[in-house]
Amino acid sequence: MVEFESKYAYSVARTRVLETRLLDWGRLERMLDAADVEEALKVLQESDYSVGFDYEAMLSNELKRVYALLSEMAPDPRLVRMFLVRYDFHNLKVLLKARLLWEGAGRGGVDAGQAPRSDRVPKRALFDIGSVKLETLARAVNEGEVRDLPEPHRAALQRALAAYEETRDPVTIDNVLDREAYSFMCAEAAGQGIDFLVDYLARQADLINIATFIRSKQMGKDRSSFTEAFLPCGRLELSKFLDVYDRPPEAIADEFAGSDYAPIIEDGLKHLAADGSLSYFEKARDIYLLNYLKKAKYVAFGPEPLIGYLLAKENEIRMLRIILVGKANGLTRETIKERLRDVYV
């Protein structure tokens, strides 16, 4: 009768306290007003962040801390694990590309002197969080030792390799693994019965697909590369995109005029026409998704508040990176603020 409630009572209540510690606009504004990085970091002193000299390390530590915290308090380990799998798939991309680059050097694809050695995978490209140990991933990619690898990872790796064999194109690896990551997330969310997350992922996939559509056209890619990069789980079907692929990007606004995303598309296209940049659309997309996420705050019992908090924290880290990178490179307050998204609190 109350199994569901008592399953989530503890973690949701704890999340409520954690939510109060998310950074609000006031604090972000104070960071924006700071003269340099050091001063901006000082604003974070009384927060969850362990402020250090290296802000990238600080941000990645915070990400690690949040995942550890949520893994500890979530009633179902699968809930947090499925978000961690995204990072596994990213690491798979890195390991796979490093290996293929090395092999390619042997075949004369790339100058052997420039290719990284297979045991020297660029460390900076790897996330040090994930659901699977990095060594396990590396063994699977480099030695074909997939015994310890969970099934979704194994299948994804095989598909990525098979696709690469066909195209010999590094983009294929990204595309296949991005698609696999999305399919996995959606299937997992549906399997765990979290409609909220299924819906969120669908919206995210749709909006990413719209951005991909515009970017593909800007880059002059053809239909097949767009189809390759098309993410599953969205509500907007691929065929709809392909119908208008040969028309100018504006056609997409008419095609999806009836959808939820019409205002974002329209605004995005307006800015695209003005300065040729899609970053406004990307910002509007993030804000839209965050607003959808905010609904999770009003759920009393269930996984939603935890998911909301987790993604809100990822958003917060993204915002801090925008501010700190901006401050470190002397961008003006306005330029930085223009890029900032929104806060969850």
Partner 1 sequence: MEVRVSPTRMQLLRTRKRLAVAVRGHKLLKDKRDELMKKFLALVRRNKELREEVEEKLGKAFKSFLMARAVMPPEVIEEAIMYPKRVLEFDATSVNILSVKVPKFSWAEKGEAQESEIYPYGPAATASELDFAIGSLAEVLPKMIELAEVEKSVELLSAEIEKTRRRVNALEYVLIPQLEETARYITMKLDEMERGNLTRLMKVKEIVRERGA
Partner 2 sequence: MELTVGTILGFLGIALAVALPGVGSAIGVGLVGTAGSGVVTEDPDKFGQILLLQVIPGTQGIYGLLSGLLLMGKLNVFSFGKPVLLTIPEGALVVMAALPIAIVGWFSAIHQGKVAAAGVGVAAKRPEELGKAVTFAAMVETYAVLAFLATLLLIFGIPIKGVA
Residues at the contact surface with partner 1, assessed by CB under 8 A: 56, 59-60, 90, 93-94, 97-98, 100-101, 109-110, 122, 124-127, 169-171, 173-175, 178-179, 182, 208, 211-212, 214-216, 218-222, 225, 229, 231, 277-279, 281-282, 318, 321-322, 325-326, 329, 331, 336, 339
Residue 310 site contact among partner 1, partner 2, none (CB < 5 to 8 Å, cut-off depends on kind): none
Q: How far is the CB of 205 from partner 1 (least distance, A)?
A: 9
Q: Does 49 bind partner 2 (CB under 8 A)?
A: no
**Around Cβ 288, how many Cβ atoms within 10 Å?**
19
Query: Taking CB within 5 to 8 Å according to partner kind, which of partner 2, partner 1, none is near residue 76?
Result: none
In single-letter form, the type of residue at position 337 comes to K
CA-based radius of gyration for the chain:
21
Q: What's the burial of 303, exposed, middle or buried (CB within 10 Å: 0-12/13-18/19+)?
A: buried
- The Cβ-side half-sphere exposure at 203, using a 13 Å CA radius, reads 20
Interface of this chain with partner 2, residues 82 to 101, rule: CB under 8 A = none
User: Using CB under 8 A as the criterion, what x/- string covers residues 241-280 for binding partner 2?
Assistant: ----------------------------------------
Q: Which is nearer to partner 2, 2 or 35 (CB)?
A: 2
Nearest distance in Å: CB 141, partner 1? 14
CB 179 within 8 A of CB 118: no
Nearest partner of 180 among 204, 207, 209, 157, judged by Cα? 157
Measured on CA atoms in the order 69, 70, 72, 78, is the torsion positive or negative?
negative
Q: Which is nearer to partner 2, 4 or 171 (CB)?
A: 4
Evaluated on CA atoms 101, 103, 108, 111, the torsion sign reads: positive
**What residue 300 binds from partner 2, partner 1, none (CB within 5 to 8 A, per partner kind)?**
partner 2
122: number of Cβ within 10 Å: 11
Q: Count Cα atoms within 13 angstroms, Cβ side, for 222.
A: 1
136: closest CA among 175, 95, 106?
A: 95
From the list 5, 29, 36, 165, which residue makes contact with partner 2 (rule: CB under 8 A)?
A: 5
Cα–Cα distance measured from residue 317 to residue 322, given in angstroms and rounded to the nearest whole number: 9
Residue 302 is a binding residue for partner 2 (CB under 8 A): no
3-state secondary structure of 329: coil
- The distance of closest approach from Cβ of residue 97 to partner 1 in the complex, given in angstroms and rounded to an integer, is 4
Encoded one letter per residue, x for contact with partner 2 by CB under 8 A and - for no contact, window 107-146 reads ----------------------------------------
The whole-angstrom separation of Cα 182 and Cα 28 is 31
Identify residues 11-30 at the interface with partner 2 (CB under 8 A).
11-20
Query: 86-107: string of b/e by CB count within 10 Å (b at 16+)?
Result: bbbbbbbbbbbbbbbbbebbee
Q: Of 11 and 131, which has the nearer Cβ to partner 2?
A: 11
Which of residues 153 and 179 has its CB atom nearest to partner 1 in the complex?
Answer: 179
Closest to partner 2 by CB, 19 or 174: 19
Sign of torsion over alpha carbons 102, 104, 107, 112:
negative
**Is residue 50 near partner 2 by the rule CB under 8 A?**
no
CB of 168 to partner 1, least distance (A): 9
Q: Write down the least CB distance from residue 344 to partner 2, Å.
A: 12
Site residues for partner 2 per CB under 8 A: 1-2, 5-6, 9-20, 73, 300-301
